[in-house]
Amino acid sequence: MVAFLRWAVLFVPLCHAVRLHHNLYCDAGEVDIRRPPQPSRFGSPWPLPQHMKLSTDTFQLSGGGFAIVDAEESSARSDCSILQDAYRRCYLHMFGSDVGKHARTTGSPVLTELQVWISSPDPECDGYPTVTSDESYELFVSLPNAVLKAATVWGALHGLETFSQLVREDESGIKCINETIIQDFPRFAYRGVLLDTSRHFLPVRSILTTLEAMAMNKFNVFHWHIVDDTSFPYMSRTFPELSRKGAYHPYTHVYTPGEVKLVIEFARLRGIRVLPEFDTPGHTQSWGKGQPDLLTPCYSGATPSGTYGPVNPILNSTYDFMTTFFKEISEVFPDAYIHLGGDEVDFTCWKSNPDIQKFMVKQGFGQDYSKLESYYIQRLLDIVSSLKKGYVIWQEVFDNGVKLKPDTIVHVWIGGGTNEELGNVTSAGYTTVLSAPWYLDYISYGQDWQKYYKVEPLNFNGTAQQKKLVVGGEACMWGEYVDGTNLTPRLWPRASAVAERLWSAVDVTDPDDAFDRLSAHRCRMVGRGIAAEPLFSSYCPKEFRGA
């Protein structure tokens, strides 16, 4: 029998008295959940599916007697390696080392098969996910077999993850699953995580672990802030000096072309886009080490001071370099977009340089150096457009009035005035991605996941048409204080809160149910080898066994 459940939207703001020894900060409106986690009536899917009908009837599953197979009607065949890979992953997530076990002969009926049915003529087995990919799926868990139906492999990947999350152990340690019907699709098409591999180098292994965890949370964009002032770990084929001189170390702290390819393919197999960011004209100190004359020489009075500022926007050689460099980038990274940065340009050095001053006069820019910045960005955008790539830029580029192609994505990150900015960007007709409330590198004591969870991205003044332009959001983990030692527990499960906000329905906001499901979800991640940190005093059946 299938019972219909409605989403509970019970917001219970209770903030217990502060205790001295084990003080708990409780921000305005934040819920201080001090009870042990309870089983949620939804089980523990995270993020919560859009529509879910859950029966109390259960089926047994066993590693020795369960198969995930292509449905006969499916357009994907056995050579669709992205699916085959996902079947294997799903199976391992469900059964781990219990692969040889068989179901009991008594007890609940046995479910032996999950059939995966790709319904679109082109399953997109060899494609890359895009911002317009169809990620929806339907899941029918019933006898004689479970069916996962999706238009493309992208929806199927999410459905397999959900299926694996529905499987649990009963009191006797038997794997079981409830009779269930799910119709699911993301609320937002862009659900990103930013890693910064410049301020600290992240070993490829850390990046792959992050991609694994992202797939468990249905994130679909890895925004790779790959280079910055501090170091240039990207090994360029056309300009090898950039990493040779700009990386922390030319051999141990670089990403080789093979490793970049590995990251992209590992991400693709999990339905994740890799959006590379090469931020200019600021944040480029490390570029200057391997590319002479790229940066602006700063002056102290009438003489060069020996230090360098942003990219030099007045030399033709700069644009020749950018053309060649971004041609390489557009070939190495298959995604339709490149993130071009454009944030935080410091004008001090430009102002000090007499050649720049002359150029300003010649161009009629007066003393308005943001016009010079726009001049540079405009030319850069033209270059990237000619490479048939779309671009994402940080919000300052929009704020400064640079002319943008209509399909440009404006990335909103500044903490103050976020809603006003979203209104401005969308009323100008631009697509936008929101990161401002989700700077996860900022840490604080207590359950700050709730703060991230409570954000409503569309809570700004604007028409329905404007709101459609918010394609999603992104959790940012900047790298000043983060490297391979602490990345994973700092990112998870805090980023999971963002994941559910971006995937689930607008009214999925009950903090108590979220606490219960998220507690189970973080233990599930721990069980799968992800060092996701705890929400509050409690335990996991299988604790983390790393260092």
* Cβ distance to its own copies smaller for residue 153 or 410: 410
Cα–Cα distances in angstroms (integers) from residue 490 to residues 210, 316, 482, 524, in the given order? 11, 43, 8, 17
Minimum Å distance from CB 206 to its own copies?
Answer: 8
Kind plus residue range of the DSSP H or E element containing 501: helix 494-503
Tokens of 86: 């996902």
241 is a catalytic site residue? no
The span from the CA of 542 to the CA of 169, in Å, is 13
* Cβ distance to its own copies smaller for residue 252 or 363: 252
Question: Is the alpha carbon torsion for 9, 11, 12, 14 positive or negative?
Answer: positive
Question: By C-alpha distance, which of 195, 186, 187, 188 is closest to 440?
Answer: 195
Question: Is the alpha carbon torsion for 71, 76, 79, 83 positive or negative?
Answer: negative
Minimum Å distance from CB 204 to its own copies?
Answer: 11
* Cβ distance to its own copies smaller for residue 57 or 399: 399
* Cβ distance to its own copies smaller for residue 22 or 237: 22
Select which of 331, 344, 456, 543 is catalytic. Answer: 344
Minimum Å distance from CB 285 to its own copies?
Answer: 11
The span from the CA of 477 to the CA of 372, in Å, is 30
Minimum Å distance from CB 274 to its own copies?
Answer: 21
* Cβ distance to its own copies smaller for residue 163 or 222: 222
Tokens of 388: 């048939």
* Cβ distance to its own copies smaller for residue 129 or 276: 276
* Cβ distance to its own copies smaller for residue 158 or 524: 524
Minimum Å distance from CB 535 to its own copies?
Answer: 8
Minimum Å distance from CB 435 to its own copies?
Answer: 10
* Cβ distance to its own copies smaller for residue 245 or 389: 245
The span from the CA of 433 to the CA of 23, in Å, is 36
* Cβ distance to its own copies smaller for residue 260 or 525: 525
Minimum Å distance from CB 292 to its own copies?
Answer: 22
- Residues with Cβ within 8 Å of 19's Cβ and at least 6 positions away in sequence, in order, are none
Is residue 227 within 8 A of residue 233, CB to CB? The reply is yes
Minimum Å distance from CB 272 to its own copies?
Answer: 19
Task: Print the SS3 string covering 375-409.
Answer: HHHHHHHHHHHHCCCEEEEEHHHHHCCCCCCCCCE
Tokens of 380: 């850069």
The secondary structure of residue 110, as a DSSP letter, is B
Minimum Å distance from CB 440 to its own copies?
Answer: 11
Q: What is the dihedral of CA 157, 161, 167, 173, to 10 degrees?
A: 110
The span from the CA of 418 to the CA of 292, in Å, is 38
Question: Is the alpha carbon torsion for 223, 411, 477, 536 positive or negative?
Answer: negative
Cα–Cα distances in angstroms (integers) from residue 537 to residues 28, 133, 472, 488, 542, in the given order? 22, 40, 32, 19, 15
Cα–Cα distances in angstroms (integers) from residue 502 to residues 116, 136, 414, 476, 541, in the given order? 25, 14, 19, 14, 29
Question: By C-alpha distance, which of 448, 457, 433 is closest to 506?
Answer: 457
Minimum Å distance from CB 468 to its own copies?
Answer: 28
Ranges assigned E (strand) in 291-426: 295-300, 303-311, 337-339, 390-394, 409-412
Is residue 157 within 8 A of residue 437, CB to CB? The reply is no
Kind plus residue range of the DSSP H or E element containing 333: none
- Judged by the rule CB under 8 A, the positions of this chain that interact with its own copies are 19-24, 199-201, 203, 205-206, 209, 230-231, 248-249, 252-253, 343-344, 394, 413-414, 441-446, 478-486, 488-490, 526, 529-539, 541-547
Active site residues: 344
